[in-house]
Homo-oligomer: A and B are copies of this chain.
Amino acid sequence: MDRVKKILLEHEVVPSIHRMLILQALMNSCSHPSADEIYRALLNQIPTLSKTTVYNTLKTFEEKGIIESFSIMNNEVRYELQPHPHAHFKCKLCGTIYDIYGSFDCLRDKIVEGHKVQEQHINLIGICAACQKKDKNDA
């Protein structure tokens, strides 16, 4: 919990209890949670939590560079702490989003055909390894 507070202070965000819990939930989760998933995960600990607070807080975190957001298949936005740059794979069957640490060119802060790149999102979509196995067993 001290680790969480430290991160917020380093990014000039007042470490309120809500913000600490939201960031903690995000750090504990490895599943790229959506705003709604974070909201539901915290309802036990903060019964008075408002979904607007979750949205506001996530926006603040992103503006301050604490987290990153991305969206795959145009449903809801998903959030994660920014570790090393990586790609995402979303399974069409089970919906799981996997991190892919492959050999992708990182174009951030590079100039591409004259355009200044600030963000890069590599989204792969298909059938994950687990669902392929499941399909074979069913057949």
A interface list, Cβ under 8 A from B:
71-74, 77, 89, 91-92, 98, 100, 102, 104-105, 107, 112-129, 132
Contacts and interface: CB of A to CB of B under 8 A. Distances in A.
A128 B100 contact: no
Given A74-B71, A77-B74, A119 B124 contact: yes
A123 B121 contact: yes
Dominant secondary structure at the A interface? strand
A124 B114 contact: no
Contacts of A115: 89, 91, 98, 100, 124, 126-129
Considering residues A74, A89, A115, A129, which has the most beta carbons from chain B within 10 angstroms of its beta carbon?
A115
13 contacts: A71-B71, A74-B77, A89-B113, A98-B115, A100-B113, A100-B115, A102-B113, A115-B124, A115-B129, A116-B127, A117-B126, A121-B124, A122-B123
